[in-house]
């Protein structure tokens, strides 16, 4: 795998390039240990910018238009299956990469799904179909699953994502027994960092372990099933 080339200072700072090169070296080392063959020519750096978000939305909207044009040939279930396979999959790809995006970026994805929901509702009249799971819920479930792998299952390649445990309580409170499962969320000086993976999902993980015992599960499949329910109930 070829390391990232240095770009002009106006595009990428030298420190960022150094960190990315180090991450690439770690990936190569991991692949050798696990006997995984990588394809350097297929490896890309993805920058989630406004232009990237617009490109994804444009692609998803175009695919949804194709679904709309043939929807008269399909029943409700057919429209749902086609939407999830051909449209939603584009918006769900690499969900954690979207975690630090501004709400305005994410809203453009939500509008595409809202159009799909209206299409399904028209096909299902007068019966009300179940709403699609919000895209943010999918991202939150994915983020919590990564936290579970890192902190409970101790998945080797995710150990760098482990956050230190919260400091012990100095006095007895109702929340004190749950502090040993909670993590110490890094302090954020900017909105961008506040939305990034570790601060965002550190906060969400703490909320999960304070209110449920789902985090203790030693099965990722069972954890994901219960987290899907918890995230949905929190929305309701």
Is the pLDDT at 139 greater than 80? The verdict is yes
User: Residue 14's pLDDT band (boundaries 50, 70, 90)?
Assistant: low
The rounded distance, in Å, linking the Cα atoms of 49 and 27 is 24
With beta carbons less than 8 A apart as the criterion, state whether 140 and 215 touch: no
For residues 90, 96, 98 and 102, what is the CA-based torsion angle, rounded to 10 degrees? 150
The pTM assigned to this predicted structure is 0.76
The rounded distance, in Å, linking the Cα atoms of 205 and 201 is 6
DSSP state of 13: -
Is the pLDDT at 43 greater than 80? The verdict is no
| Residue entry with tokens 């749950």 | 178
At residue 183, φ and ψ (nearest 5 deg) are -115, 160
User: Residue 1's pLDDT band (boundaries 50, 70, 90)?
Assistant: very low
pLDDT in tens, 25-41: 887 887 787 777 777 77
At residue 165, φ and ψ (nearest 5 deg) are -70, 150
Mutual angle of helices 50-70 and 103-124, in 10-degree steps: 10
Between 146 and 1, whose confidence is greater? 146
- First and final C-alpha spacing in the chain: 46
With beta carbons less than 8 A apart as the criterion, state whether 106 and 98 touch: yes
DSSP state of 183: B
With beta carbons less than 8 A apart as the criterion, state whether 69 and 94 touch: no
- Establish whether the linkage from the previous residue to 126 is cis, with ω within 30° of 0: yes
What pLDDT is stored for residue 8 in this prediction? 44
Please state, in angstroms and as integers, the Cα–Cα distance from residue 100 to each residue in 70, 74, 105, 106, following that order: 36, 37, 10, 10
SS3 106: helix
Between 182 and 1, whose confidence is greater? 182
Structure tokens given for 29: 């080392």
DSSP state of 175: T
Name every residue whose Cβ is closer than 8 Å to that of residue 151 and which is 6 or more positions away in sequence: 162, 163, 183, 205, 215
What pLDDT is stored for residue 126 in this prediction? 67
């Amino acid at each position: 795998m070829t390391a990232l080339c240095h770009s002009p200072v106006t595009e990428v700072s030298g420190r960022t390039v150094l960190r990315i090169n180090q991450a690439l070296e770690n990936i190569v080392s991991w692949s050798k240990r696990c006997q995984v063959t990588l394809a350097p020519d297929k490896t890309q750096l993805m920058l989630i910018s406004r232009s990237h978000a617009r490109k994804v939305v444009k692609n998803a909207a175009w695919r949804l238009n194709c679904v709309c044009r043939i929807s008269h040939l399909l029943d409700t279930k057919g429209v749902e299956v086609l939407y999830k396979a051909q449209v939603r999959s584009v918006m769900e790809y690499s969900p954690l990469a979207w975690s630090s995006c501004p709400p305005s970026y994410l809203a453009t994805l939500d509008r595409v799904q809202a159009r799909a929901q209206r299409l399904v509702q028209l096909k299902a009249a007068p019966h009300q179909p179940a709403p699609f799971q919000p895209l943010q819920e999918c991202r939150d479930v994915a983020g919590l699953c990564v936290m579970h792998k890192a902190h409970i299952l101790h998945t080797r390649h995710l150990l760098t994502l482990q956050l230190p445990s919260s400091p012990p309580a100095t006095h007895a409170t109702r929340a004190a027994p749950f502090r040993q499962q909670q993590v110490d969320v890094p302090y954020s000086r900017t909105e961008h960092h506040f939305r990034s993976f570790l601060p965002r999902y550190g906060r969400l993980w703490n909320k999960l372990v304070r209110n449920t015992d789902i985090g203790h599960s030693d099965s990722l499949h069972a954890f994901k099933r219960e987290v899907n329910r918890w995230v949905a109930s929190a929305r309701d």
